[in-house]
Amino acid sequence: MRMRVARSLIVGASAGLGRALAEHLAVAGHDLFLIASDERDLAAMRDDLRIRHAAKVAILAMDLAAPEPACLRTEVLAQLGGIDNLFYVAGVSRMDADALADDVLNRLVAVNFTSGLRIINAFLADLSKNADANIVGMGSVAAARGRRMNSVYCAAKRGFEAYFEALRHRLAGLPCRVQFYRLGYLRTRMTFGQKLLLPALDPAVAAQVIAANLGKDTGLVYLPWWWRPVSAIIVRLPWPIFKRLNI
């Protein structure tokens, strides 16, 4: 008997970790539905994955600050017949966010927080009844403690992490697995040329770890792993010391 092919939806698929994850899952034989904001990037990815890996790939260009979850669900069901894995990888950051206009702040909060909730909610009834389902979210080590730099991004990512904690509790008695990753530095265009406090992880390595954990009750995972002790130290620093840090 032929095994059913896994079906994966990746939100934020065109760059960095999202692209690496799409590549890894295509090699593993998943049917893919990829979402990002740039249709040209998505089309190039689709064609590449089809040619090199014979993967079934559908795409949809969408402004993640203003998604239409109901329409998205209809399109995904039409293309794949449903999904087994939902990955919300999308994120946007601005270091000068505290001085920006309301529309930019709203975009930061939407892409990093509320859009993820809305998209997951659109598929939640389907995934909660699927014995093979996984809901996977990406956060940031920046959310470990409120800080002066990039505070809006930090707050939105902390809210997203809290939602995944609640979602894991809500689905604890059901077969669907809920997993969340606190991401540290990844080797992408955003970190290229920067002087980083710790080494950056190759997105392909991160994608391999995430894919290997599908189906496991992992809860919160740090990537790279060494951010767990670093974050623990930051959280426990006394206020007189912490307030002097330029982070």
Q: What is the pLDDT of residues 211-223, one digit of tens each?
A: 999 999 998 999 9
Distance between CA atoms of residues 105 and 152, nearest Å: 7
> Any idea what the CATH number is for the domain that residue 29 is in?
3.40.50.720
For 180, residues 6+ apart whose C-beta sits below 8 A from its C-beta are 136, 137, 138, 139, 161, 164, 165, 168, 219, 220, 221
The answer as to whether 122 is a domain residue is yes
The answer as to whether 39 is a domain residue is yes
The answer as to whether 1 is a domain residue is no
Enter the DSSP assignment of 112.
Answer: I
The answer as to whether 62 is a domain residue is yes
The residue segments making up the domain with residue 201 are 7-242
Of 226 and 169, more confident: 169
Number of structural domains the chain divides into: 1
The answer as to whether 247 is a domain residue is no
Q: What is the pLDDT of residues 159-185, one digit of tens each?
A: 999 999 999 999 999 999 999 999 998
Q: What is the pLDDT of residues 96-114, one digit of tens each?
A: 655 567 888 899 999 999 9
> 52-66, 162-176, 193-207: which range is least confident on average?
193-207
For 51, residues 6+ apart whose C-beta sits below 8 A from its C-beta are none
The answer as to whether 2 is a domain residue is no
Distance between CA atoms of residues 236 and 247, nearest Å: 15
